[in-house]
Structure 1
């Protein structure tokens, strides 16, 4: 595995309708999160386009109860899990920042160079 890559988790740890937060920079706060929606894995920066606040209200709580939308608990914005597009709230029409990833031996691996934008 390249030293320019960061392993987040095993792909089978991502369950449909749930999300997991990660702190790949070691800042003490989850700066990225991953989810499985419609069988597809997505990884986003943990930052709402409205005021750039963290999305979750507690560890790994990024999604609505039914798992159909990503929610910013600070301002109530709602995002589509498959695209990150805001469909409700103060950042309507804006999108979450998606991160590039790849699978390597059943692991979810991020390209490290894109993480600087996730630093606090």
Structure 2
């Protein structure tokens, strides 16, 4: 039998517990280091709880969240798994986050309008 977590939210909770300095910042969500998946994959090597595919899916969900996208648009620096300040957030990433937020909000508004 496998002990792997099945739900993406469980995988996110696993990441929060394993890397609290990265995912549980006291002053809110921070943009993650570019390439953080590789760092996570190295640290969880051999884990019976999560697969790399699950981590990739969980990160995709985490980084497409509105609060995360807003953090990208407002933060000056990214952080690594240990919560250390990393590279500056590049303008193209800020622009991408802003566009993703606008598109997501437009979809939500359209859905709400259709439900009326």
Provide TM-score, normalisation by structure 1.
Answer: 0.25
Query: Higher strand proportion, which one?
Result: 1
Query: Higher helix proportion, which one?
Result: 2
